[in-house]
């Protein structure tokens, strides 16, 4: 039976589609079969797709249910469902079907407000900081933002997926011939991390795997590097 991972959430432009493709691509790189299912009724499927995972059009409920039923019959597959913004009913239906629900959000107070409302509405979902800043100053501000997450949700906010500009190559038309190594590595890391969360089966996450734990660890590394540079 395939595992079904839904990447959904009310906020537009949070990274749902990019993350869906990064995850499917990364799963392929680590030897898993993946299908990316687009469900956003405001988008058209790409005219061509050359990447090593299946791409399916699940924009109607009928098509989506047929695809999910087919996937459920297949062992060792992972179905990744790419949601659309402001699709509350579809999101609730997908949340009920999924083995893992991810809600990407960006580093803004508005994103945080929306994702907290989604976390309250979708009790099995995890929030995933997406397109997270890598610039040290922006990163410090983003850590403060994460620390403002209400305590009731903190254990459900995963370690960030960092911004990587080459991620857009996955969606490029015509498809890119070669993808850069840093993108391959980022996609593999996302796939491994996501499978780990899936295997965790909804149990409480160790702090190191949450956004706050991961951010504090990274912040310590940045601070150490800064103080070494200052003393050099």
Ligand X SMILES: Nc1ncnc2c1ncn2[C@@H]1O[C@H](COP(=O)(O)OP(=O)(O)OP(=O)(O)O)[C@@H](O)[C@H]1O
Q: Where are the alpha helices (DSSP H) in the chain?
A: 16-29, 61-72, 88-97, 109-121, 136-147, 151-154, 181-199, 211-231
Q: Which residues contact 87 (CB under 8 A, 6 or more apart)?
A: 8, 10, 39, 40, 41
Q: Which of 92, 134, 138, 165 binds ligand X (CB under 6 A)?
A: 165
Q: Please provide the size of the chain in residues.
A: 232
Burial class for 97, CB neighbours closer than 10 Å (0-12, 13-18, 19+) = middle
Cβ of residue 197: shortest distance to ligand X, in angstroms? 17
Q: Which of 13, 182, 202, 206 binds ligand X (CB under 6 A)?
A: 13
Question: Considering only residues 11-70, where is the footprint of Mg ion by CB under 5 A?
Answer: 16-17
Among Mg ion, ligand X, none, residue 164 binds (CB under 5-8 Å by kind): ligand X
Residue 37: its H or E element: strand 33-38
Q: Do the Cβ atoms of 56 and 67 come closer than 8 Å?
A: yes
x/- map, 39-78, ligand X, by CB under 6 A? -x--------------------------------------
Q: Which of 4, 114, 146, 164 binds ligand X (CB under 6 A)?
A: 164
* Phi (first) and psi of residue 92, to 5 degrees: -65, -40
The verdict on 12 binding ligand X (CB under 6 A) reads yes
Cβ of residue 154: shortest distance to ligand X, in angstroms? 22
The verdict on 87 binding Mg ion (CB under 5 A) reads no
Positions touching Mg ion (CB under 5 A) are: 16-17
Positions touching ligand X (CB under 6 A) are: 12-18, 40, 84-85, 130-131, 161, 163-165, 167-168
């Amino acid at each position: 039976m395939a595992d079904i991972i839904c990447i959904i959430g009310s906020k537009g432009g949070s990274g749902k589609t990019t993350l869906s493709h990064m995850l499917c691509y990364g799963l392929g790189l680590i030897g898993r079969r993946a299908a990316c299912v687009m469900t956003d009724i405001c988008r058209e499927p790409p005219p061509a797709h050359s990447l090593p995972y299946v791409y399916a059009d699940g924009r109607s409920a009928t098509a989506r249910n047929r695809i999910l039923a087919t996937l459920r019959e297949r062992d060792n597959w992972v179905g990744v469902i790419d949601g659309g913004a402001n699709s509350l009913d579809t999101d609730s239906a997908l949340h009920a079907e999924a083995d893992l629900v991810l809600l990407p959000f960006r580093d803004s107070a508005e994103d945080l407000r929306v994702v907290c409302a989604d976390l309250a509405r979708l009790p099995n979902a995890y929030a995933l900081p997406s397109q997270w800043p890598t610039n040290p100053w922006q990163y410090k501000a983003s850590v403060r933002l994460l620390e403002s997450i209400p305590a009731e949700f903190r254990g459900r906010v995963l370690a960030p997926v960092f911004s990587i500009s080459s991620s857009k190559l996955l969606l490029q038309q015509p498809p890119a011939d070669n993808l850069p190594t840093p993108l391959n590595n980022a996609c593999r890391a996302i796939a491994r991390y996501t499978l780990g969360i899936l295997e965790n089966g909804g149990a409480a996450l160790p702090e190191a795997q949450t956004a706050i734990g991961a951010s504090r660890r990274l912040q310590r590394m940045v601070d150490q590097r800064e103080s070494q540079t200052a003393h050099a």
